[in-house]
Amino acid sequence: MSLRAVRQLSRVRAFYLGGAVLWAALTAWTGWQLPGSRQMWVSALLLAVFTSLLLMSSVWLQRLRAAVSHEPAHHAAPRKTVGTRRAHA
C-alpha cells in the first residue's frame, strides 16, 4: 500500500477517536441524568460503533505500516554525467 493510504487512514482514525471520546462523555452524562432511557442506549450504541471503527482502523493502520516498511524503496534512476557528444561519420 502507499504512504498516501497510511496518511489518510491516520486522519480517519483521529476522527473515530474524537467520535468515541464524544460518545463516551455523552453516554456517561446521559446515564447519570436518565439511567436506562432510550437516549442512554442510543448513546451506548454509537459509542460501541465508534469504538469498533477505531479499533479496526488501528489494526489496519498497523498492518499497512508493517507492509510499507518491508517494501523496497523506489529510487530515481541515477543521473549520468553528460559528456561531449561526438558525431560518428
Mean per-residue pLDDT for 59-68? 83
Q: pLDDT band at residue 81, thresholds of 50, 70 and 90?
A: low
The reported pLDDT for the residue numbered 84 is 67
Q: What is the mean pLDDT of the chain?
A: 85
pTM of this prediction?
0.68
Torsions phi, psi for 2 (to 5 deg): -90, 165
Torsional sign, CA 22, 24, 27, 33: negative
The reported pLDDT for the residue numbered 40 is 95
Q: pLDDT band at residue 67, thresholds of 50, 70 and 90?
A: confident
